[in-house]
Structure 1
Amino acid sequence: MFASYKVFSLTLIKWIVLALVIGLVVGTTTSFLLTTNDFLGTKRENHSWLIYFLPIGGLLIGYLYMNYGKNDAAKGNNLIIEGVHGKKKVLKRMGPLVYIGTFITIIFGGSTGREGAAVQMGGSIAQMVNQFLKIKQMDMKIFLMCGVSAGFGAAFGTPIAGAIFGMEFVAVGKLKYEAFVACLISSFVGHYMAESIWGIKHESLIIQTIPDTTLQSFAKVIILAVLFGLVSVLYCQLRHGIQKISEKLTNKNHMIRAFTGGVIIIVLTLIIGNQEYNGRGLEMFENSFVEEVPPFAFLAKLIFTAVTLGTGFVGGEAIPLFFIGSTLGNTLSGFFDLPLSFLAGLGMIAVFCGGANTPLTAFLMSVEMFDGKGIEFFFVACLISYLFSGHHGLWPSQTLHEPKSRLFTVTDGSTIESIESSKKYK
């Protein structure tokens, strides 16, 4: 009995120390990412002519990934997922490459987010630390999840959601509880480093009014959650479809793909007549909580982001999904007679939930971001969006632990990619 407790205590201490190290390093690198992104985003907004250099930026990103990425680095978050499952080795160079690629995409006006770089840097740093510590393969999986949690918690200021995200995003329908302590510590430490040490200020999103908890309100929320889930599917399908077509037409030449994508984004920008859908779009995203925004803003952002990331540019997809969901909720508030800020928040969380296939993470994010307001509605919305998004998602490498419903005839252990490409999928 004593021997068992001794082994348990030593193992616990080991993971506390390792999680602290990962949280400190990833929290710092994520803070640098956020600060630099803000600086570059502001520069682009003040110099609108930079958008015309986006194709050149695409060439540079393509060159870096083709010559230094060993093909696998371009997989992004999918490589992290495959690393956790032991299918691939996460490359140490992934972190620097995604940092540089994200900065290039942001400064020249590609539509992207930031959590992709934070998550991939977390995985890359975990791989670097492993090189010195020689961690066992089973423990390496937990180590990678630590890096993901630290990056997510620091990027969004949501340490609890970050802890769960590292455990939840690798497999649909399963939480890897063996990583709970490590992910929780790394996420909180990463968040602390970002906010308390480096002074990072996250977006302030306030829900002004919550509807009464009536059957009518819940019925409206359920209908809206279905719509939000379907919009997340629309984005995922369009984004992956553009990637497949562009890879086929260019024979997977990353430079040509990204150059062409840059040209398309310039054309779309000229058609729109402004650059509100380039970059991260934080201004309109935040405004969607306090005032009416253009009714088709969600669709414009959806297309801009799908083209940007589908043609080989680099960055995250959470912020664009937040934008798509919040502006769609903003537009629908008048039709459903629900408070504008409430629907903006509901759409933001539900669209992200449907795309990421992480209902617990999305729900906890709503609790942390909105101080627990409307907790009942957000719980229902996350569940409904998760179910109605089906077996689609942002990351094709996500494995399916078990079907979301018995109505889906899919095999356990399949990946999102294999399910979508299967003719038997219903």
Structure 2
Amino acid sequence: MFKKVINQNLPFFRYLIRWTLLSIPVAIAIGSMVALFLWLLTWAINFRFGHKWLLYLLPVAGVLIHFLYKLYGASAEKGNNLIIDEIHEPGAGVPRRMAPLILVTTVITHLFGGSAGREGTAVQIGGSLANLFAGWFKLNQADKQMLLTAGIAAGFGAVFGTPLTGTIFALEVLTIGRIKYDSLLPCLIAGLVGDATVSAWGIMHTQYHIGNVEAGQLFYGHQLHVNVWLLLKTIVASAVFGLAAYTFAKTAHAVKGISNKYIKIKWLTPVCGGVIIILLTVILGKPDYLSLGVSPEYPGAVTIVSAFRPGGADFFSWLWKLLYTTITLGTGFKGGEVTPLFYVGATLGNTLATLMSAPVSLFAALGFIAVFAGATNTPLACTIMGIELFGGEYALFYAVACFTAYFFSGNTGIYSAQRWLTPKTVE
């Protein structure tokens, strides 16, 4: 009997050992490069804080980014969509230059004040390095696709300090309506090792906190584990979060489409985008919507962290950040969309909490993950992100928020390479 059990499980042990040995070195390399990227990003943002005039060179920075990709980028210009396409239908491959190119150009974007994120950079670093290792390991197409997926998990988990979220995100983002569980183990190993590597390099992630919320209630003398009235408010707010995600995705695609259609001299596209960002900042009279939006440039600035406090965001902070980011990325600057989506969601949650007399920190957290869920069509990963970032006490609210926003965001998303296996709703 014992020999029979061993023989039955031998293929699994081989699979476990093989993918552990394949995933660990890839994840260490990705985690190390993400750590370097986060360090450079922090330096660039702080340097701009001390040299505010750099914002006025944003159009020049955009021209530099344009020609860097024109001269050296090749297919790397497609970014995350290239990696997703390569996993679905292997073709020309992911260029080796993608990782250093996206790292440098994202730092340039933030150094001069462009509103962008960091997830796109981390995912492209992960995909590029995973493709490089796949060549060194001489993997077949199926294994290469699996390693690319693990690379996404390592990059995402490392950049946000959320290894489980990175694991599920890599599996969920590829095809709406299907998760390929055969890639679960490599993604989990890569996500954990990538995150541990960033920590080993001494890089710290931003901490968020939800204040005490009365999540249960008495109902006809019986104690319920869920505050029904708060849950109803969550559903209403999450529908708005989904519409915000829809607006973000549509606006991002529209800005890019309009730029390609009406600006014939391509290097002028980032010039126009940079000039618009400068004008908006001058008109608003504050730099709160530039760059990541995590660290405050001055006391009282609106940031993701401040949105967790009453009065920590203006009524339309979410809308301004949405416009800043879609203009920045739609006109050729580089970076990710996810951290700006966190900003949009957290500040919108702050506004809705005020309007609905709801707990501000909880609604900021719900918006943080729900707008992201709607824009990327990854509600399961975002529910797990809520647990990893904010703790598991309000897990039910996270799930309700993410899945509600997912349905209300419509049949769109920020990644055009996503495949649709099943629609969100059944007629």
Q: Normalising to structure 1: TM-score of the pair?
A: 0.92
For structure 2, the 5+ residue unaligned runs are 216-225, 297-302
Cα contact 1:65–1:254 (8 A) shared by 2? no
**Can you list the C-alpha shifts for 1:245-289, whole angstroms capped at 9, x where unaligned?**
1012234x5422112211111111111111111111113111111
- Residue 215 (structure 1) shift: 2.0
On the 8 A contact 2:235/2:400 being kept in 1, the answer is: yes
* Aligned counterpart in structure 2 of residue 374 of structure 1, from 394, 397, 400: 394
Instruction: Give the Cα–Cα distance (whole angstroms) in 1 for the partners of residues 205 and 370 of structure 2.
Output: 20
In structure 1, the residue matched to 2:234 is: 221
User: 2:83 matched to which residue of 1?
Assistant: 80
DSSP 3-state at the match of 1:306: helix
> Match for residue 175 of structure 2?
171
Do the aligned residues in 1 keep the contact of 2:120 with 2:337 (CA within 8 Å)? yes
CA-to-partner distance for each residue in 1:388-409, whole Å, 9 max, x for gaps? 11211010110001111113xx
Find out whether 1:267 has 2:263 as its counterpart. Answer: no
Q: Secondary structure at the match of 1:285?
A: coil
Return the alpha-carbon distance in structure 2 between the equivalents of residues 254 and 372 of structure 1.
48
Residues 88-103 of structure 1 aligned to structure 2 (within 5 Å): 88=91, 89-103=93-107
| Structure index of larger Rg | 2
Alignment partners' CA distance in 2, 1:373 and 1:236: 31
CA distance in 1, matches of 2:117, 2:146: 25
How far has the Cα of 1:183 moved from its partner?
0.2
**1:218 Cα deviation after fit:** 1.3
Q: Give the counterpart letter for 1:192 in structure 2.
A: A
The alignment status of 1:33 with 2:45, answered yes or no, reads: no
| Greater Cα offset, 212-221 or 149-158 | 212-221
Cα separation, 1, equivalents of 2:17 and 2:134: 17
After TM superposition, the structure 1 = structure 2 runs for residues 232-311 of structure 1, keeping only pairs within 5 Å, are 232-251=245-264, 254-282=266-294, 283=296, 284-292=303-311, 293-311=313-331
Distance in 2 of aligned mates of 1:272 and 1:211: 37
Deviation per CA, 1:109-168, whole angstroms, max 9, x where unpaired?
000111111110000001111221111111111100111100111111111111111111
Query: What's 1:160 paired with?
Result: 164
- Residue identity opposite 1:346 in structure 2: L
Alignment partner of 1:362 is 2:382:
yes
Relative to 1, partners in 2 of residues 1:364 and 1:254: Cα closer, same or farther, differing over 3 Å?
farther
For the Cα contact (< 8 Å) 1:150–1:190, is it kept in 2?
Answer: yes
Q: 340, 344, 359: which one pairs with 2:364?
A: 344
What residue in structure 2 maps to residue 331 of structure 1? 351
How far apart are the structure 1 equivalents of 2:127 and 2:237? 35
CA distance in 1, matches of 2:87, 2:205: 29
Question: How far 1:3 moved relative to its partner?
Answer: 6.6
Provide the rounded CA distance (Å) in 1 between the counterparts of 2:52 and 2:214: 41
Q: Secondary structure at the match of 2:139?
A: coil
Question: SS of 1:295's equivalent?
Answer: coil
Match status 1:144 vs 2:148: yes
Alpha-carbon distance between aligned partners in 2 of 1:207 and 1:8, rounded to the nearest angstrom: 41
Partner SS for 1:391:
coil
Q: Is the 8 A contact 2:90 2:141 kept in 1?
A: no
| Secondary structure in structure 1 of the residue aligned to 2:305 | helix
In structure 1, what residue type is equivalent to 2:206? Answer: E
Are the counterparts in 2 of residues 280 and 319 from structure 1 also a CA contact under 8 Å?
yes
Once residues 323 and 281 of structure 1 are traced to their aligned partners in structure 2, the CA distance between those partners, rounded to angstroms, is: 7
1:412 aligns to what? none
Q: Is the 8 A contact 1:211 1:338 kept in 2?
A: no
**Alpha-carbon distance, 1:200 to partner:** 1.2
Name the SS for the 1:205 alignment partner: coil
Amino acid at match of 2:396: E
Q: 1:254 to 1:362 in 2, by over 3 A?
A: farther
* Partner residue of 1:385 out of 383, 405, 424: 405
List runs of 5+ in structure 1 lacking aligned partners.
Answer: 408-426
Structure 1 match to 2:49 = 45
Shift in CA distance, 4/91, structure 1 to aligned 2, threshold 3 Å:
farther
Q: Which amino acid aligns with 2:270?
A: A
Aligned residue identity for 1:100: V
Change in 2 beyond 3 A, CA 1:245/1:226:
same
SS in structure 2 of the partner of residue 265 of structure 1: helix
CA contact (8 A) 1:55 1:260 kept: yes
Supply the distance in 2 between the matched residues of 1:405 and 1:13 (Cα, whole angstroms): 40
C-alpha separation in 1, matches of 2:97 and 2:411: 31
CA contact (8 A) 1:228 1:347 kept: yes
Residues 289 and 341 in structure 1, CA contact (< 8 A), matched pair in contact too: yes
Local SS of the residue matching 1:142: helix
CA distance in 1, matches of 2:178, 2:241: 23
Secondary structure class of the residue paired with 2:413 = coil
Q: Deviations over 1:160-215 (max 9, x none)?
A: 111111111111121121110000000000111111x1111111110002242222
Q: What displacement does 1:87 show?
A: 4.6
- Residue in 1 aligned with 2:196? 192
- What is the count of residue pairs matched by the alignment? 404
Q: Which residue matches 1:416?
A: none
In the alignment, the residues of structure 1 paired with residue 181 and residue 20 of structure 2 have an alpha-carbon distance, to the nearest angstrom, of: 15
What TM-score do you get using the length of structure 2 for normalisation? 0.92
Shift of 1:4: 6.4
2:420 alignment partner in structure 1: 400
Question: Identity rate of aligned residues, in percent?
Answer: 40
